[in-house]
Chain A
């Protein structure tokens, strides 16, 4: 839903474009949702002047022809900030070299700015195209009027309107005055480009910020600065829900540069995005704040979550998974089939908590003054920053002005703005701008962790070795526990991530979910529940192939079964997308499976001793992916990942090199969580603190070679940031089985002794 207005004469974008520029406002929400904005008042503070103050602006062309396009979603490495404006530029027929991108502030009139769930392009592809095409038509119209020729005889050619008959040509810059006086054309009048006419869509562009990044000039959340600001470091309760009993408020002040020691209130359940509580040390520089913190000597009242110890919790989860649970999907009757006494295979799988560990830890700078809060946050969700700060410091949401610098990674962590709230609370208390910097130790220990999960799988095999019945259960403390204290069951959204939407051709199927209580904060993490669900389902599929003595790829293809669209009720909630537009089409899953196998040389390559290949195929975020991993296990039990071949069908792809890069990265991210990453708790305290304990893949451990094969498709665009992750771990585990005969039923793989 979008509405476009010509706002050229309202003085918007002052300080960015000159008077007389052509400015289009594109609103993505229905009119009723817009409120009045106090735009002038946002222009006061330093460094705000250059930024965009009008949240409904998507597009402006200045008199010198420079096209300004607003990026309204956060940039954390997936090129949202480049790829969305690129779509506008394509339909505008603009010269990318003359495009400038302005980052939006948080404002609900943009529609969703929550940059997660791999849906930036999916959700805004059409609005961006319409915005660009509207601008183009108005420039054409302005030219036609100026030249007194019919509009239909004019066309555009890279930042210019041309009239071939009279051999006339005008740069966009020369047409803005005319265009700025025109009424906005109706949507029916627009002519969107045919895919064959696209200049940028499908070809892509490197990140707008690449040169700034490579020269150290790019500004990340960590790099923001205000005159007179203090740096804060916070000692959080080691156990979730813990409270401060006492602390030394004098000793930290002895440290040179330390200015304040301030307690932060503990949260009221549910914790949502509230600060965890604890004690903050504020200083003139980051180092002094860190040093002061060491002198706090806090004693804590840990509360009930101090009972949380991962080893015991794991046993509970596994027990629960062995019991009948809540039914999430049922086809036929698995019990009848299991009662028949044929061949039955059972297996249990387990995957631990994970920490996002983006390279830049959580960081935010806030300046509370005169009833407003200016905040620069490394955030995936600036509107949530507004809402959460508004609640915490008692100012209206629209008085929280959130700017979004570049993010040094996010992976879902930075959708949760507790650290930005901390900065606002401390700024209010001190009357100074405050930058809250989380140490790596804070980041790893106080994350919204990826959920630990236990799964139980059971299948009966028929004459031909194919399953006649399939039962699967998963048990995990749900993300819902962050919002509803005591929530223990997964919802359709969790289970619809690779579990209840299992696409296999099964006459009898039951999918169940059991309850699990959270004891740490649980949050979404790149590809979310798909990680453990794909691990369970794709490992088990491979176990069955071996039990049936059949080739893994052929068996997987047989499970996927004949080409068909799954009934809607089987695939819902389908990542919130309309089923008619994004049906679950098993032909696309089959195709990526075949391509990955073929490109990997499945069954054709001679593999030496200790070598094996494994496959997994999984649809997530509406994208179909299959991965083949070729790995070697040495006699010492070391795993070497030699080659990864991933086939991807993500529908229409705007920026192919972004897709490749995201999927290469997913293989590395997948290596980390498959091979060594693990978060555990003892007595409620997280045991890992930094990268010597929470291991992530380094260059010498990453796949030696990752090849990405993009399936050409004209289907609507789907996700790219997350879908590469889920199939990686099971494909690697299946390769290890092929190499050694050892089945991995627990992640990370480092827990299993693989030496010969």
Chain B
């Protein structure tokens, strides 16, 4: 039996321990804000926080997630919107929006560790997240706006 915390709630799981956290969140818990894009750690659409760090849930097995604290896009704001989400809306970042949960989760983790990221820092941390619609310019602008907001 695997025990973990998801968005503050205690959960137990007794299925295949190799199943990636992504499918547990989506298919078992119905937390569909976390997306599937590649299943190989190549695109970042599935990014969640495990013990506060951004990880690819498609490449994190349930046995690895055991005992950990998982946060998804649905619970990243303690109330209302997280400043990063507000900046995303303000900057009108999304096109199709499918990659954006992952982008936001990655950006929140970036700003948690670096209050004033440079262009180089943003590139480095965000280049693992693909946006096929090509919203990178706005993502960069939104991260800077959120950094100002939280500074």
A positions within 8 Å CB-CB of B: 75-78, 206-207, 209-211, 213-220, 222-223, 225, 231, 256-257, 285-288, 290-291, 357-361, 406-411, 437, 439-440, 657, 661-662, 664-669, 671, 690-692, 696-703, 705-706
Contact = CB atoms under 8 A, between A and B. Distances in A.
B104 to A, nearest CB: 7
Contacts of A439: 39
Given A214-B88, A215-B85, A222-B32, A691 B135 contact: no
Interface string B80-107: 0100010011001111111111001000
A668 B98 contact: no
B138 A359 contact: no
Contacts of B33: 215-217
Contacts of B23: 285-287
B8 to A, nearest CB: 15
Contacts of A408: 35, 96-99
Contacts of A662: 95
Contacts of B149: none
A220 B98 contact: yes
Contact of B136 (A219, A290, A668, A692): A668
B15 A257 contact: yes
B89 A214 contact: yes
A223 B123 CA distance: 30
A285 B135 CA distance: 31
Contacts of B77: 215
A437 B104 CA distance: 24
Interface residue range, chain B: 35 or more
Contacts, number: 190
B132 A357 contact: yes
Contacts of B32: 216, 219-220, 222-223, 225
Nearest to B122: A699
A213 B23 CA distance: 20
10 contacts: A77-B96, A223-B26, A285-B23, A287-B19, A361-B36, A440-B39, A690-B42, A696-B132, A698-B130, A699-B122
Given A218-B97, A256-B15, A359 B137 contact: no
Closest 5 CB pairs of A and B: A216-B33, A668-B134, A408-B98, A77-B96, A77-B95
Contacts of B73: 215-216
Contacts of B2: none
B29 to A, nearest CB: 11
A290 to B, nearest CB: 8
A360 B95 contact: no
Contacts of B94: 77, 207, 210, 213-214
Taking chain A's interface residues, is the majority helix, strand, or loop, or is none over half, making it mixed? loop
B98 A359 contact: yes
A663 to B, nearest CB: 10
B89 A664 contact: no
Given A256-B16, A359-B131, A665-B134, A285 B27 contact: yes
Contacts of A210: 89, 92, 94, 97
Nearest to A702: B136
A79 to B, nearest CB: 8
Interface in B95-130: 95-101, 104, 122-124, 126-130
Given A256-B15, A408-B97, A666-B134, 18 more contacts: A213-B100, A214-B85, A214-B97, A215-B74, A223-B32, A360-B96, A407-B96, A437-B36, A661-B92, A664-B134, A665-B135, A691-B42, A692-B42, A696-B130, A697-B136, A698-B129, A698-B136, A700-B124
Interface string B13-36: 001100110010011101111111
Contacts of A703: 137
Contacts of A285: 19, 23, 27-28
B74 A702 contact: no
Nearest to B124: A700
B55 interface: no
Contact of A359 (B19, B72, B132, B136): B132
B100 to A, nearest CB: 6
A690 B132 CA distance: 13
B132 A222 contact: no
Nearest to A363: B36
Contacts of A705: 137
A257 B98 CA distance: 28
Nearest to A204: B92
Contacts of B100: 213-214
B139 interface: yes
Given A220-B98, A359-B133, A700 B35 contact: no
| Most-contacted residue by chain B among A75, A217, A219, A702 (CB, 10 A) | A702
A288 B43 contact: no
A215 B81 contact: yes
Contacts of B104: 214
Contacts of A671: 134
B137 to A, nearest CB: 5
| Most-contacted residue by chain A among B23, B38, B73, B124 (CB, 10 A) | B38
A668 B137 CA distance: 9
B37 interface: yes
A76 to B, nearest CB: 5
A76 B98 CA distance: 9
B144 interface: no
Contacts of A223: 26, 32
B103 to A, nearest CB: 10
B140 interface: yes
Given A213-B100, A702-B137, A358 B132 contact: yes
A701 B122 CA distance: 13
B89 A699 contact: no
Contacts of A440: 37-40, 43
B16 to A, nearest CB: 6
Contacts of B129: 698-699
B123 A699 contact: yes
